[in-house]
Copies of this chain bind each other. A is one copy, B any other.
C-alpha cells in the first residue's frame, strides 16, 4: 500500500511518502472486529504465515502459530502482517529508491522508533478499515510494538500479547547491539551507509552481526543440546578451518543472512531496540508510562531466555497491575532461549490459544 501523506518521525525527520508491504490471512468480519496485527522482530517481515504457491519452502516466519486451526486461528481472525518502514522486505527502507533523487536512500534514510512503526501500522489499519484490533501481538521487538500500541492508541486494541519482550534494553543488550553495529559500520564496504551507490555490500559486517545475534537467541543449554562440543572431524585441525559444529552453524547462519538482509535496516532495527524505553518519558516509572493503556494483556516469557529474561517481563506485568489492568502472565519452561517464542511448545501454544479463544468470544469471532 502506498502512502502519500508524510510520516513525521520521533527523530524530527519526515518520510514524505512510503510503501508498506503487508499480507492478510482469513476474513475480516462484517463488524471489522476480528483483526489481529502481528508485529515482527529484528529480522522479520510481513510474511507471517502460509506458503507461496509453487514455493514449498516459503513458509512464513510464524507459520506454526498462525493459520487455520492454529493458536492464532485464521478461521476466526483476520490476521495482518506488515513489514515495518525501514525494513528490507518490500516496505520503504534504506535500500529503496528515494523518489526525490532516484537513488537508494542509504545513509539518508532516517532512524526510527517503535512508536514510529506503530503510527505507520495504525495508518495501514485505517486503510484496511480496521478501527480497533481485537489484538496486537508480537515477540521480542514485536512485543515492544504491542506494548507501544497499548500506550499510543489505547482505544484501538482490545488486547496486547507481549511475548519474550522487555520494557527496555539492558546495558548488556545494548552492548551486543553495539558490537553488531560496529561490525557493520567498520566494514570497509559500508561506505557510511551508501554502499549501494558504490556497488558494494558490507557482507562481512552483517555476517558477524548475525553470528553474534544467534548466540544470544539461544541458551547455553540449548546450544549444548544441539551442538555440544562436537567436532566436524574426529580430531582438532589446529588451523582456522571450521572445527566445531557450533562454528559451522554460526558461519552458515551468518552467510545466509548477509545475502538476504540489508545492513542499514539492521542498524535501524537495533537502534529502535536501544531507544525503546517508555519509562524514560515518565521519570523512570514504567507504571506511569503504561497509565494510558486500556487493553487486556497477555505477557509471556521463557525460563531460559537470557536476552530478555522472565524478570524483565515481570517488570511489565507489575506496571500493568499497578494500573489495575487485566493481565495474564505465563512463564514457559523452555531450554530454547530467546528463540523459544518462535518454536512450537505445547504449554506456550496452549496459553496463546486459550487467551485468543477468550478474545474471539469477546469480539464474536
Contact of A274 among B193, B211, B243, B267 (CB under 8 A): B243
Decide: B179 and A244 in contact? CB cutoff 8 A: no
Tell me how many residues of A have a C-beta within 8 Å of chain B. Answer: 59
Determine whether A68 belongs to the interface, using a CB cutoff of 8 Å to chain B: no
Contact of A223 among B10, B171, B219 (CB under 8 A): B171
Decide: A186 and B174 in contact? CB cutoff 8 A: no
A235-266 interface with B by 8 A CB criterion: 236, 238-240, 243-247, 250-251, 254
Which chain B residue lies CB-closest to A203? B186
The segment from A118-126, A155-163, A224-232 that touches chain B is: A224-232
Give complex CA distance A306, B211 in Å: 19
Determine whether A99 belongs to the interface, using a CB cutoff of 8 Å to chain B: no
Give complex CA distance A187, B189 in Å: 11
Decide: B238 and A13 in contact? CB cutoff 8 A: yes
5 A-B pairs with CB atoms under 8 Å apart are A13-B238, A171-B244, A172-B219, A178-B211, A182-B254
Decide: B179 and A215 in contact? CB cutoff 8 A: yes
A166-214 interface with B by 8 A CB criterion: 168-172, 174-176, 178-179, 181-183, 185-188, 193, 204, 207-208, 211-212, 214
| Other A-B pairs beyond A174-B244, A178-B246, A178-B250, 8, CB < 8 Å | A111-B238, A169-B229, A170-B220, A171-B226, A171-B245, A171-B246, A181-B240, A240-B267
Decide: A215 and B170 in contact? CB cutoff 8 A: no
- Report the minimal beta-carbon distance from A198 to chain B, rounded to whole angstroms: 15
Determine whether A296 belongs to the interface, using a CB cutoff of 8 Å to chain B: no
Decide: A229 and B171 in contact? CB cutoff 8 A: yes
Give complex CA distance A214, B176 in Å: 10
Mostly, the A contact residues are helix
Determine whether A110 belongs to the interface, using a CB cutoff of 8 Å to chain B: yes
**CB 8 Å contact bits of A8-45 with B (1 = contact, 0 = none):** 00111100000000000000000000000000000000
**CB 8 Å contact bits of A286-303 with B (1 = contact, 0 = none):** 000000000000000000
Which chain B residue lies CB-closest to A240? B185
Decide: B183 and A208 in contact? CB cutoff 8 A: yes
Closest 3 interchain pairs by CB? Answer: A11-B238, A171-B223, A111-B238
